[in-house]
Chain A
Amino acid sequence: MTIELVSQREYQMFNSVDRHHGHIWQNIKNLLKSCFGAQTDECLLNEDGSLIDTNRLRRTISNEQQSHKKRHITWPYLLNIYSPSMTNSDKRIYRNRAKIRYNKLKRAWQERVSQGDSFYVKLADTILKDVRRTDRHIKFFKKKKQQLFNIMMTYSVYHPSPGYSQGMTDMLTPIFYVFMSECLSYFAFCSLMTRYMSLLFDRDQTEIYRRIRLFNSIFRSIDNELWNKIDFHEEDNFYIYRWLLLDCKREFSQFDHVLRVLELVWINAMSPFADSQSKPNTRSLFTIFVCISILQEDRRIILSCSNEEDLYKYFFSSSSSRSHRSTKRILQRAQLYYSNYKASQK
């Protein structure tokens, strides 16, 4: 037996009210959304533009559905462009000052280039060649080469250590894609390098070797079967070099997946969000778990390699053939490894 909760007549009346008073219902819906919205679409900023709290920011970035809509809000905090207490007017003042400072820095090297100073001309030539071939398949970057070049040139001139290194433009494109401002992208990129990445690009390679060794010992303890299969009897496991240097940026075929991977790496690696800021080694952990998770995603492919040559082809082929991987699964597994690790440290 079915029970009629609302009579047919009443239902029709209700519907006609809905049609005639659509705007009222819309207001009620908005009200409900603002009361219960926290569960689906969390508000991050106070009315004055300051950050409500960093945990909420962390939650938003961890939640895939929310994160992609809010990168323009979250990344300036993630990359330390804005501090949590900054109000809208503080941000405006900061942006104006940043613009003046950036333009001054840029003009200085532009003059040297136009004077034909050979150091600057050669650096410009190298950077231009690399900017032209970074993420060129993304339409957005087709007309942005000049801006990317300017940012990279300004960074390289004013940061002689590490100076310009191939691979840096790979880290710049995601930042520029989200910030869309030459000046803010410059400062965000500087912040990424200073707080986290510049050591990896250092000439002496100490940090990247350390990262590779750390990867190797963790990989061995998590998945001995796969580790044994891949072990090339090489001391330094160079097959993972590109993965670890660029935080797996080239290991995902879709650009929005790259953005997702990087924001999770950063939130787990950089203060004020990272739990363990003190030990530099633990900064690499999330990236290392992503690497291991990719290898496990490709377990069948790797285990079916019948000789070293097949393995070399898997690891050292160009990065365009990654479309079979499920980014969602890879990141879920990496996050699980990471939270298990954190629990084990408590």
Chain B
Amino acid sequence: MSRPGHFKMVLLGESAVGKSSLALRFAKGQYQDHAESTIGAAFLTHTLQIDADTTLKVELWDTAGQERYHSLAPMYYRGAQAALVVYDITNADSLSQAKKWVKELRTANGIDMIIGLAGNKADLATTVNKRKVDAREVAEYADDNQLIFMETSAKRGDNVSEIFMNVARQVAMKQPTNTLNKPQGAFPPTKPKPKGNSSCCSSSDSKS
């Protein structure tokens, strides 16, 4: 008998590294050149057959990449069992940003969270030599931090379902499916606090 379950997963990484494109390739098998930037967040689901008797539905939250929207991210990664942190192999800065995300996730969600690291736009390394990030170095870093690392191409579809599948397998191994069946709790669990002076918000417009 099939044992269905589901888990919450979040996509993080610098702006324009291909988070939404990976999500679209994974959930719908499609690719769009110059897809519009994500404002706020996007939500997609896709069900994976882990083995003969386990299916897992991935509930994927795709986030906005720009640094100034960073404060919204905790809403989406809190309570998530897995994350895919994405960088662009043609942009060295995006790897530094990815490492910051990994650190933040480990601090917030602990070592139990399954984290994948995707070096996206791998197609650009072979067609036009634009590579700025060496895969071996990243692989070492990934080993040290217990990350599932792969270079991917959302455009060609390389390694996209593979990296999601590897993450999902580890989620399934780590947690028995019956816990994956439990409701995940309300979204989002807590709100991030605006940094500004809260006294400027009049009480009349707050939710009553």
A214 to B75, CA, bound (A): 21
One digit per residue, 1 when the CB lies within 8 angstroms of any chain A CB and 0 when it does not, for chain B 31-42 equals 000111101111
A169 to B39, CA, bound (A): 12
Flag if A213 contacts B37 (CB, 8 Å).
no
Flag if A216 contacts B207 (CB, 8 Å).
yes
A246 to B71, CA, bound (A): 18
Known: A133-B35, A217-B207. A317 touches B188 (CB 8 A): no
Flag if A206 contacts B194 (CB, 8 Å).
yes
A233 at the interface (CB under 8 A from B): yes
Residues of B within 8 A of A177 (CB): none
**Which stretch of B61-69, B140-148, B156-164 is in the interface?**
B61-69
Flag if B207 contacts A130 (CB, 8 Å).
no
Residues of A within 8 A of B45 (CB): 309, 313
Count A/B pairs, Cβ under 8 Å: 117
Pick the contact of A217: B65, B186, B195, B208 (CB < 8 A).
Answer: B208
Residues of A within 8 A of B93 (CB): 122
Minimum CB–CB distance for A36 against chain B, Å:
46
Within 8 A of B (CB), among A202-236: 202-206, 209-210, 213-214, 216-217, 220, 232-236
A204 to B72, CA, bound (A): 11
Residues of B within 8 A of A213 (CB): 201, 205-207
B196 at the interface (CB under 8 A from A): yes
A202 to B69, CA, bound (A): 10
Residues of B within 8 A of A246 (CB): 39
A245 to B205, CA, bound (A): 17
Residues of B within 8 A of A242 (CB): 39-40
**Residue among A134, A163, A167, A209 with max Cβ neighbours from chain B (10 Å):** A209
A206 to B196, CA, bound (A): 6
Known: A133-B34, A204-B194, A236-B191. A313 touches B43 (CB 8 A): yes
A167 to B38, CA, bound (A): 9
Residues of B within 8 A of A345 (CB): none
Residues of A within 8 A of B177 (CB): none
Flag if B43 contacts A317 (CB, 8 Å).
yes
A140 to B206, CA, bound (A): 42
Minimum CB–CB distance for A283 against chain B, Å:
13
Minimum CB–CB distance for B69 against chain A, Å:
7
Mostly, the B contact residues are loop
A245 to B38, CA, bound (A): 12
A184 to B65, CA, bound (A): 30
A221 to B34, CA, bound (A): 40
Flag if B72 contacts A250 (CB, 8 Å).
no
Residues of A within 8 A of B195 (CB): 203-205
A120 to B45, CA, bound (A): 38
Minimum CB–CB distance for B162 against chain A, Å:
24
Known: A206-B200, A206-B201. A233 touches B71 (CB 8 A): no
Within 8 A of B (CB), among A75-90: none
Flag if A245 contacts B69 (CB, 8 Å).
no
Flag if A241 contacts B40 (CB, 8 Å).
yes
Pick the contact of A166: B69, B186, B206 (CB < 8 A).
Answer: B69
B114 at the interface (CB under 8 A from A): no
Chain B residue at minimum C-beta to C-beta distance from A316: B43
Residues of A within 8 A of B41 (CB): 238, 241, 316
A316 to B44, CA, bound (A): 8
Known: A129-B16, A166-B64. A316 touches B40 (CB 8 A): yes
One digit per residue, 1 when the CB lies within 8 angstroms of any chain A CB and 0 when it does not, for chain B 4-22 equals 0000000000011000100
A213 to B200, CA, bound (A): 14
Question: Can you list 15 residue pairs at the A/B interface with Cβ under 8 Å?
Answer: A132-B34, A133-B35, A134-B37, A163-B68, A167-B39, A202-B196, A205-B194, A206-B197, A213-B207, A232-B187, A309-B59, A312-B187, A313-B44, A318-B35, A318-B42
Residues in A lying within 8 Å of B, measured CB to CB:
122, 126, 129-130, 132-134, 136, 163, 165-167, 169-170, 202-206, 209-210, 213-214, 216-217, 220, 232-238, 241-242, 245-246, 250, 281, 308-309, 312-313, 315-319
Residues in B lying within 8 Å of A, measured CB to CB:
15-16, 20, 24, 34-37, 39-45, 59, 61, 64-66, 68-69, 71-72, 75, 93, 186-188, 191, 194-198, 200-202, 205-208
Apart from A132-B34, A202-B196, A250-B39, what 18 extra A-B contacts exist at CB < 8 Å? A130-B16, A133-B34, A136-B34, A165-B68, A166-B37, A166-B69, A167-B37, A204-B196, A205-B196, A213-B206, A233-B186, A234-B188, A281-B202, A313-B43, A313-B45, A316-B41, A316-B42, A318-B36
